[in-house]
Amino acid sequence: MRHFLSLRDFSKEEILEIIDLSIHVKCDAKKGEHIPYLEGKTLAMIFEKNSTRTRVSFEVGIYQLGGVGLFLSGKDLQLGRGEPIKDTARVISSMCDMVMIRTYEQEKIEEFARYSKVPLINGLTDLYHPVQLMADYMTMKELGKDKDPIVAYIGDGNNMANSWLNLAAKLGFEIRIAAPKGYEPLEQIVKQAKEFAEISGAKILITNDPKEAAMGADVLTTDVWTSMGQEEEYQKRLKDFDGFIIDEALMALAKTNAIFLHCLPAHRGEEVSEGVLEGTQSVVWQEAENRLHAQKGIMVWLEKHKK
């Protein structure tokens, strides 16, 4: 049985297989054909962090696949009253066919997975956001940006930056991370990505210069500068990230046909300008819709690999 906790756990072939499956499922949906791959199955959705895209995409996704989604907030569960994670995992996985968790600590979902009898999906942690990266790469492939791309991530070295490092290192393309000093991705994640890159041929650049990262890139992407749980750091981060906005001037350094991605929600005027977000190079709405289809692909793939 396989879980979907981070992209570091998957081979290049497996990642591409899930992407192809996601595109196939999307094509079916566009033709009005919602094939019930998961008919009668139940997905427990545990949310300890708020969400728009994750909540809607998983709940609609399991429904379109013929199953039922159960929304469970932290307040709904005994986890919020101190029940051990392993006890919750044993109980929920004995009643449901699959579980998705959106929470803070990566360690929490890893412990849940150890005691779960069914596949577990990481809907987001402070360390990784793998389901978002599947939607991002699916979008790149649909737009022909999957052939030896140069991807420039400009901003906080957070879970998105970590996941971009994982994806690039596994698939073998060039990733450039530009973050202010003190906000770079975690050293151990960069180290592991470089180890994977020795096998895949990926190129990895960590820099404090947004222009260096953006020069000649095929994809520019970013995330909010202040993530959930960091609200008290907001004013300091605004100052520290000065100059890291993806605006028209920075986009102009990329290739003329470069695209802009953002996992959303976006803070216009901070990490991205209004002109770029709403401009012709922005594909964030196609990317957002692909959260639905990519996650359906993940769920179908995990069900197939249960045994």
CATH code assigned at 299: 3.40.50.1370
Is 136 within the bounds of a domain? no
Residues 110 and 11 in one domain: yes
Burial category of 194 from C-beta neighbours within 10 Å (exposed 0-12, middle 13-18, buried 19 and up):
middle
**Polymer length of the chain:** 307
Is 138 within the bounds of a domain? no
Active site residues per annotation: 102, 129, 132, 223, 263, 291
Q: What is the mean pLDDT of the chain?
A: 96
Domain that holds residue 16: 7-129+288-304
Is residue 15 within 8 A of residue 4, CB to CB? The reply is no
Residues 158 and 122 in one domain: no
| Cβ neighbours of 166 (radius 10 Å) | 24
Task: Name 27's Cβ contacts closer than 8 Å, sequence gap at least 6.
Answer: none
Residues 199 and 98 in one domain: no
Q: So what's the pLDDT on residue 50? A: 87
Residues 184 and 118 in one domain: no
Residues 112 and 218 in one domain: no
- Calpha distance 218→90 (Å, rounded): 45
Residues 93 and 119 in one domain: yes
Q: So what's the pLDDT on residue 76? A: 75
Q: What band does 163 get if pLDDT is binned at 50, 70 and 90? A: very high
Instruction: Provide the whole-model pTM.
Output: 0.96
- Calpha distance 152→65 (Å, rounded): 34
Is 137 within the bounds of a domain? no
| Mean per-residue pLDDT, 90-99 | 97
- Calpha distance 110→120 (Å, rounded): 9
Residues 278 and 150 in one domain: yes
Q: What band does 213 get if pLDDT is binned at 50, 70 and 90? A: very high
Is 276 within the bounds of a domain? yes
Is 52 within the bounds of a domain? yes
The total number of structural domains that make up the chain: 2
Residues 65 and 102 in one domain: yes
Q: What is the pLDDT of residues 254-286, one digit of tens each?
A: 999 999 999 999 999 999 999 999 999 999 999
* Token pair in block for residue 269: 């005027």
Is residue 205 within 8 A of residue 176, CB to CB? The reply is yes
| Mean per-residue pLDDT, 40-67 | 96
What is the layout of strands, in order, in the sheet containing 98-102? 68-73, 42-47, 98-102, 120-124
Q: What band does 299 get if pLDDT is binned at 50, 70 and 90? A: very high
Is 115 within the bounds of a domain? yes
Residues 90 and 205 in one domain: no
Residues 278 and 293 in one domain: no
- Calpha distance 186→198 (Å, rounded): 19
Closest C-alpha to 35, from 271, 274, 296: 296
Is 192 within the bounds of a domain? yes
Is 2 within the bounds of a domain? no
Q: What band does 74 get if pLDDT is binned at 50, 70 and 90? A: confident
CA 192 to chain centre: 18
% of the chain exceeding 90 in pLDDT: 91
